[in-house]
């Protein structure tokens, strides 16, 4: 099964066709209908067992041709449509193309933290593929894009196992999750 995290317990997307393209470079999957049905944006998927140190989440995708922004969030609580009370958000990554910012924030007990914005460079290019890795450590998340470490985000939500959902929305296509 292609959708796996470091210890085989990543995001739940039941599908066996995701690896069919291994012998066919350049194609994400010959079974396009299935893939687009599973990985449509906005996307919400369960992180089996929640987060813990040593676990990583991988999001691979392609930025839209004329993007405004997209975001990837790790949240607590699976009731996706209920916004009352607002879910805790352990990490929200927002790629904003208008001013080329890659922002981080969290929401704890209904209140958003101050956005952190410093980054060495803006790693996303319209119409180009990317790979985001979120590594969970004891004190922080460490974020990599295309293999380059960009920044750390210290845990605001302290209960790592309660971080059980990945949400993705905005101007991108998801090609693979792990």
Whole-number pLDDT of residue 21: 37
Q: Please name the fold of domain 44-177.
A: Jelly Rolls (2.60.120)
Mean per-residue pLDDT, 40-64: 95
Average pLDDT, rounded, for the chain: 82
pTM: 0.78
Answer whether residue 156 shows pLDDT above 80: yes
Per-residue pLDDT tens over the stretch 3-30 = 433 444 455 544 444 444 333 333 333 3
Answer whether residue 165 shows pLDDT above 70: yes
Whole-number pLDDT of residue 175: 95
Residue 14 falls in which region: left (phi positive, over 0), alpha (psi -120 to 50) or beta? beta
Between residues 86 and 167, the one the model is more confident about: 167
Whole-number pLDDT of residue 83: 54
Instruction: Tell me the DSSP string of 58-127.
Output: EEEEEE-SS--EEEEEEEE-S-TT--SSPPPEEEEEEEETTTTEEEEEEEETTEEPPPB---SS----TT
pLDDT band at 86 (very low <50, low <70, confident <90, very high): confident
Percent of the chain with pLDDT strictly greater than 90:
69
Collapsed DSSP state (helix, strand, coil) of residue 37: helix
Mean per-residue pLDDT, 168-172: 97
Whole-number pLDDT of residue 78: 67
Between residues 57 and 24, the one the model is more confident about: 57
Query: What's the rounded Cα separation, in Å, for the pair 40 and 169?
Result: 9
Whole-number pLDDT of residue 120: 83
């Amino acid at each position: 099964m292609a959708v796996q995290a470091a210890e085989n317990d990543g995001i739940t997307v039941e599908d066996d066709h995701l690896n069919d393209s291994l012998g066919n470079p350049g194609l994400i999957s010959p079974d396009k209908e299935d893939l687009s049905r599973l990985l449509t944006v906005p996307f919400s998927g369960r992180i089996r067992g929640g987060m813990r140190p040593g676990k990583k989440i991988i999001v691979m995708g392609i930025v839209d041709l004329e993007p405004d922004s997209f975001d990837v969030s790790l949240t607590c609580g699976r009731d996706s449509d209920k916004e009352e009370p607002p879910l805790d958000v352990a990490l929200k990554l927002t790629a904003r193309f208008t001013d080329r910012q890659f922002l981080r924030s969290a929401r704890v007990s209904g209140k958003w933290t101050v956005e952190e914005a410093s980054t060495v460079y803006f790693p996303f290019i319209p119409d180009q593929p990317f790979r985001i890795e979120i590594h969970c450590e004891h004190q922080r998340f460490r974020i990599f894009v295309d293999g380059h470490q960009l920044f750390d985000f210290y845990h605001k939500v302290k209960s790592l196992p309660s971080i059980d959902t990945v949400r993705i929305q905005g101007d991108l296509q998801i090609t693979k999750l792990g």
